[in-house]
């Protein structure tokens, strides 16, 4: 339950590339190389983030 609420809160913090450009005036691809993650890598990163959140909660 708590993880679902936290995830929803964090997802509201996400901004699109267009919003990033509008806010900063910089194209992120000029600063950082494009990084395409596989679905497995995304799941792994989410699991790590949830684990860290759980540890911090305890």
pLDDT in tens, 15-27: 887 887 888 887 6
pTM across the whole model:
0.39
Angle 25-30-36 from CA coordinates, rounded to 5°: 115
Would you say residue 35 has pLDDT above 70?
no
Long-range pairs of 9-13 with CB within 8 A, sequence gap ≥ 24: none
Range of the domain at 17: 2-57
Domains held by the chain: number: 1
């Amino acid at each position: 339950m708590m993880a679902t609420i936290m995830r929803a809160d964090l997802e509201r913090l996400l901004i699109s590339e267009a919003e990033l450009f509008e806010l900063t005036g910089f194209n992120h691809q000029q600063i950082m190389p494009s990084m395409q993650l596989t679905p497995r890598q995304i799941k792994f990163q989410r699991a790590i983030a949830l684990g860290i959140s759980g540890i911090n909660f305890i």
